Amino acid sequence: MLIVCGPASTTLGHKVAETLGVRSVDVDSKLFPDGECYIRFMEDLKDDEAVIVQSTYPPSNIHLMQLFLMIDTALDLGVKSVSVVVPYLAYARQDKAFRPNEAVSIKTILHILEGLKVGKLVTVTAHEPEVFQNAGFPCINLSAIEVLSEYFMKAGIRRPMVFAPDKKARRMAEEASRLIGGDYGWFSKERDRITGEITMRRVDEHNVEGKDIILLDDIISTGGTTATAVKMLREAGAERVFSACVHALLIDDAYQRILNSGAEAVVATDTIPRDVSLVTVAQIIAKAIK
Ligand code: R5P
């Protein structure tokens, strides 16, 4: 097996290869003046089972195109098989037609991967794992909740409670609270599909006064969901609120927006390389592809 360290996941790719003790191959990439992608493997790939590690955070379309070019080229160059590790899978949030006549984008991404003859897809805390049920190839959805929880267990959290900012994140919060200790609570969230505006309300009845809260979401994008929840928890008397997520997209001023809302810190995994990516998923990926 060899690990191809895609341009979007060079550091993580190397960590996975190191953990497994296998060869890693770097990839040269650039953008042509018209915005088209260029890809070149820095070493021969022939006869190996290639595992391409490439996250698809913004610029998502470029990172996806790089992934498609790497898959096709690796097969052209004579590898035995290609599996892809896409730690953050772009377009996964558009997992159904929320309004009539909308594209179900994740379905299209899976169709493209199938057409490119991908042997297997490994991803981390996918937004809606059910979308993989109809994929024409094996898909493995790894959970990053254990590694994120371990971080907080070591961080000296006092009187902990885990919160989910919406119904979908509730399962994650429940799992994390079993590991970290304390109760878990959650919000209900409605998003206006046209304006993107959100309305949130507490659904649980726990007393958060004096508690250290870990507010756990799969993705932080604009930070709107997290900032709203942090504010409400602080107003309800929470001592400290730590924002935790698997995928820190952190678009524009999202990080500052979350701190301004009263959060202590933002902690994320390295599915997306950011300053807040303090928890690595390299070991869980390595274990899954071994
Ligand atoms: C949505 O269902 C996701 O789980 C996240 O809650 C959402 O993507 C966060 O977006 P934002 O940071 O823009 O509020």
Backbone angles phi, psi at 76, to 5 degrees: -60, -35
Residues 45 and 82: beta-carbon distance below 8 Å: no
> What are the tens digits of pLDDT across the range 183-200?
999 999 998 988 989 999
Residue 24: phi and psi, rounded to 5, are -120, 150
**What distance in Å separates the CA atoms of residue 242 and residue 152, rounded to the nearest whole number?**
9
For the chain, what's the residue count?
290
Ligand 1 centroid vs 54 CA: distance in angstroms?
A: 22
| 3 state SS of 8 | coil
- Check whether the bond before 59 is cis (ω within 30° of 0): yes
- Is pLDDT above 90 for 46? no
> Which positions are annotated as active-site residues?
189
The backbone torsions φ and ψ at residue 55, rounded to the nearest 5 degrees and listed phi first, read -80, 160
- Counting atoms of ligand 1 from 1, which one is nearest the CA of 169? 4
Position 156 scores a pLDDT of 84
Classify 58 as helix, strand or coil. Answer: coil
**Selection from 137, 141, 113, 111 nearest residue 125 by Cα:** 141
CB of 243 sitting under 6 A from ligand 1 = no
| Ligand 1 atom at shortest distance from the alpha carbon of 224 | 14
List pLDDT tens digits, range 240-249: 999 999 999 9
Ligand 1 neighbourhood includes 48 CB (under 6 angstroms):
no
Four-point Cα dihedral 142, 276, 243, 158, nearest 10: 100
Q: What mean pLDDT comes out for the span 274-284?
A: 98
- Which residue of 57, 200, 219 sits with most ligand 1 atoms within 8 Å of its CB, as the best mutation to test the pocket? 219
The reply to whether ligand 1 has any atom less than 6 angstroms from the CB of 228 is no
Ligand 1 centroid to Cα of residue 249, in Å, is 10
Average pLDDT over residues 106-132: 97
The preferred substitution site among 221, 250, 258 for testing ligand 1, maximizing ligand atoms within 8 Å of CB, is 221
Q: Ligand 1 within 6 A of 261 CB?
A: no
Q: Whose CA is nearest to atom 9 of ligand 1?
A: 220
Per-residue pLDDT tens digits for 253-264: 999 999 999 999
Distance of CA 282 from the midpoint of ligand 1 (Å): 24
E-strand ranges in the chain read 2-5, 23-31, 37-41, 49-53, 81-86, 120-124, 139-142, 160-164, 184-191, 198-202, 212-220, 240-248, 265-269, 277-279
* Percent of the chain residues topping a pLDDT of 70: 100
- 118 touches 81 (CB < 8 A): no
pTM: 0.95
Element (H, E) at 146: helix 145-154
Ligand 1 atom closest to 254 (CA): 12
> Which sign does the torsion angle of CA 197, 201, 203, 209 carry?
positive
3-state secondary structure of 217: strand
Neighbours of 162 (CB within 10 A): 30
Tell me, rounded to whole angstroms, the distance of Cα 184 from its chain centroid. 22
Q: Is 223 in the pocket of ligand 1 (CB under 6 A)?
A: yes
Distance from the CA of 195 to the center of ligand 1, in angstroms?
A: 14
Domains of the chain: 2-143+281-289 (3.40.50.2020), 145-270 (3.40.50.2020)
The whole-number pLDDT of residue 47 equals 83
Reported as a single tens digit per residue, the pLDDT across 49-64 is 999 999 999 999 999 9
